[in-house]
Amino acid sequence: MRGKLQRKVADPLDDDLLADFKVGVDNVIFSVDTEQNRLLVLLVMRHEDPYMGYWSLPGTLVRQGESLEDAAYRVLSEKIRVHNLYLEQLYTFGGPSRDPREAKDAYGVRYLSVSHFALVRFAEAELIADGVSGIAWYPLNRVPRLAFDHNEILNYGYQRLRNKLEYSPIAFDVLPETFTLGDLYQLYVTVLGEDFSDYSNFRARLLKLGFLEDTGVKTSRGAGRPASLYRFDAAAFEPCKDKPMVFI
Amino acid sequence: MRGKLQRKVADPLDDDLLADFKVGVDNVIFSVDTEQNRLLVLLVMRHEDPYMGYWSLPGTLVRQGESLEDAAYRVLSEKIRVHNLYLEQLYTFGGPSRDPREAKDAYGVRYLSVSHFALVRFAEAELIADGVSGIAWYPLNRVPRLAFDHNEILNYGYQRLRNKLEYSPIAFDVLPETFTLGDLYQLYVTVLGEDFSDYSNFRARLLKLGFLEDTGVKTSRGAGRPASLYRFDAAAFEPCKDKPMVFI
DNA sequence: TTGCTTAATGGTCATTTTAACTATAATTGT
DNA sequence: ACAATTATAGTTAAAATGACCATTAAGCAA
| B129 vs B89: which has the higher pLDDT | B89
Mean pLDDT of A167-189: 95
Nearest CA in chain B to A107: B64
B212 touches B232 (CB < 8 A): yes
Q: Is the CB of A198 under 7 A from strand D?
A: yes
Angle between helices B181-192 and B199-209 (to 10 degrees): 120
Say what the pLDDT of residue A183 is.
96
B27 touches B115 (CB < 8 A): yes
Residues 93-112 of B with CB under 8 A from A: 94-96, 108, 110, 112
Domain CATH number, residue B47:
3.90.79.10
CA contacts within 13 A on the Cβ side of A51: 17
Is there a domain that residue A156 lies in?
yes
Q: Is pLDDT above 50 for A212?
A: yes
Confidence of residue B13 (pLDDT cuts 50, 70, 90): very low
Is there a domain that residue A4 lies in?
no
Top-confidence range, A112-121, A125-134, A187-196: A112-121
Q: Is B53 on the interface with A (CB under 8 A)?
A: no
Domain boundary among the residues B137, B167, B197 is at B167
Q: Is pLDDT above 90 for A243?
A: no
Q: Which residue is nearest to nucleotide D17 (CA to C1')?
A: A201
Say what the pLDDT of residue B106 is.
52
Same domain for B67 and B155, yes or no, is: yes
Confidence of residue A238 (pLDDT cuts 50, 70, 90): confident
Say what the pLDDT of residue B105 is.
56
For chain B, the average pLDDT equals 88
Same domain for B75 and B187, yes or no, is: no
For chain A, the average pLDDT equals 88
Domain CATH number, residue B217:
1.10.10.10
Nearest CA in chain B to A11: B48
pTM, two decimal places:
0.91
Cβ contact (<8 Å) for B96 and A20?
Answer: no
Instruction: Return d(Cα A237, Cα B74) in angstroms, integer.
Output: 44
Q: Is pLDDT above 60 for B125?
A: yes
Confidence of residue B138 (pLDDT cuts 50, 70, 90): very high
Domain count, chain B: 2
Domain boundary among the residues B167, B192, B214 is at B167
Residues 74-93 of B with CB under 8 A from A: 89, 91-92
Is there a domain that residue A1 lies in?
no
Same domain for B43 and B74, yes or no, is: yes
Instruction: Return d(Cα B65, Cα A248) in angstroms, integer.
Output: 43
Same domain for B185 and B147, yes or no, is: no
pLDDT one-digit tens code per residue, B168-186: 999 999 999 999 999 999 9
Instruction: Return d(Cα A133, Cα B145) in angstroms, integer.
Output: 52
Say what the pLDDT of residue B14 is.
58
Say what the pLDDT of residue A1 is.
34
Same domain for B130 and B206, yes or no, is: no
Instruction: Return d(Cα B236, Cα B172) in angstroms, integer.
Output: 14
| B130 vs B157: which has the higher pLDDT | B157
Q: Is pLDDT above 60 for A179?
A: yes
Nearest CA in chain A to B6: A48
Say what the pLDDT of residue A12 is.
44
A185: nearest nucleotide, CA–C1' criterion: C8
Same domain for B136 and B55, yes or no, is: yes
Nearest CA in chain A to B102: A65
Confidence of residue A99 (pLDDT cuts 50, 70, 90): confident
Same domain for B54 and B102, yes or no, is: yes
Say what the pLDDT of residue A195 is.
84
Question: Could you give the 3-state DSSP secondary structure of residue A152?
Answer: helix
Q: Is pLDDT above 80 for A244?
A: no
Residue A126 (CA) to nucleotide D9 (C1'), in angstroms, measures 63
Same domain for A156 and A186, yes or no, is: no
Instruction: Return d(Cα B106, Cα A222) in angstroms, integer.
Output: 66
Instruction: Return d(Cα B113, Cα B206) in angstroms, integer.
Output: 37
The domain of B189 spans: 177-240
Is there a domain that residue A247 lies in?
no
Q: Is pLDDT above 50 for A13?
A: no
Mean pLDDT of A166-171: 92
Say what the pLDDT of residue A105 is.
56
Q: Which residue is nearest to nucleotide D19 (CA to C1')?
A: A198
Domain boundary among the residues B114, B139, B167 is at B167
Q: Residue B193 burial (CB < 10 Å; 0-12/13-18/19+)?
A: exposed
Q: Is pLDDT above 70 for A131?
A: no
Confidence of residue A239 (pLDDT cuts 50, 70, 90): confident
User: How, if at all, do strands A135-139 and A38-45 pair?
Assistant: antiparallel
Say what the pLDDT of residue A247 is.
72
Say what the pLDDT of residue B78 is.
93
Same domain for A103 and A213, yes or no, is: no
Same domain for B81 and B139, yes or no, is: yes
Residue B25 (CA) to nucleotide C15 (C1'), in angstroms, measures 51
Nearest to A61 by CA among A51, A52, A72: A72
pLDDT one-digit tens code per residue, B238-248: 887 777 677 77
Q: Is pLDDT above 90 for A95?
A: no
| B73 vs B106: which has the higher pLDDT | B73
Say what the pLDDT of residue B104 is.
63
Is there a domain that residue B141 lies in?
yes
Is there a domain that residue B248 lies in?
no
Is there a domain that residue A245 lies in?
no
How many Cβ pairs within 8 Å bridge chains A and B? 112
Confidence of residue B221 (pLDDT cuts 50, 70, 90): confident
| B70 vs A83: which has the higher pLDDT | B70
Same domain for B92 and B139, yes or no, is: yes
The residue among A7, A15, A67, A242 with the most chain B CBs within 10 A of its CB, best to mutate, is A67
Is there a domain that residue A172 lies in?
no
Residue B248 (CA) to nucleotide D13 (C1'), in angstroms, measures 20
Confidence of residue A241 (pLDDT cuts 50, 70, 90): confident
Q: Is the CB of B235 under 7 A from strand D?
A: no
Q: Is A22 on the interface with B (CB under 8 A)?
A: yes
Same domain for A33 and A132, yes or no, is: yes
Cβ contact (<8 Å) for A20 and B17?
Answer: no
Say what the pLDDT of residue B245 is.
72
Q: Which of A16-20, A117-121, A218-222, B12-16 has the lowest mean pLDDT?
A: B12-16
Residue B58 (CA) to nucleotide D4 (C1'), in angstroms, measures 45
Say what the pLDDT of residue B100 is.
76
pLDDT one-digit tens code per residue, B44-79: 999 988 999 999 999 999 999 999 999 999 999 999
The angle subtended at Cα A66 by Cα A60 and Cα A69, nearest 5°, is: 70
Q: Which of A12-16, A39-43, B229-233 has the lowest mean pLDDT?
A: A12-16
pLDDT one-digit tens code per residue, A50-80: 999 999 999 999 999 999 999 999 999 999 9
